[in-house]
Amino acid sequence: MGDTPAFEHAVRVGWADCDPAQIAYTGRLPLFALESIDAWWQHALGGYSGWYYLETELGFGTPFVNLSMDFRAPVTPRHPLMCEVYPTRLGTKSISFAVKGRQDGVLCFEGSFTNVFTQAASVSTREPPPEIRAIIEPLIRA
Instruction: By CB under 8 A, tell whether 91 contacts a copy of itself.
Output: no
Contact 113, 84 (CB under 8 A): no
**Should residue 130 be labelled a site residue for a copy of itself when binding is judged by CB under 8 A?**
no
Which of 64, 59, 65 shows the shortest CA–CA distance to 45?
59
Q: Does 46 bind a copy of itself (CB under 8 A)?
A: no
Q: How many residues bind a copy of itself (CB under 8 A)?
A: 44
Which residues fall within 8 angstroms of residue 33, CB to CB, at 6 or more apart?
Answer: 67, 69, 83, 99, 101, 109, 111, 113
C-beta closer to a copy of itself: residue 14 or 138: 14
Q: Which residues bind a copy of itself (CB under 8 A)?
A: 12-16, 18-22, 25-27, 30-31, 34-35, 38-39, 48-53, 55-56, 61, 63-71, 74, 76-79, 121, 123
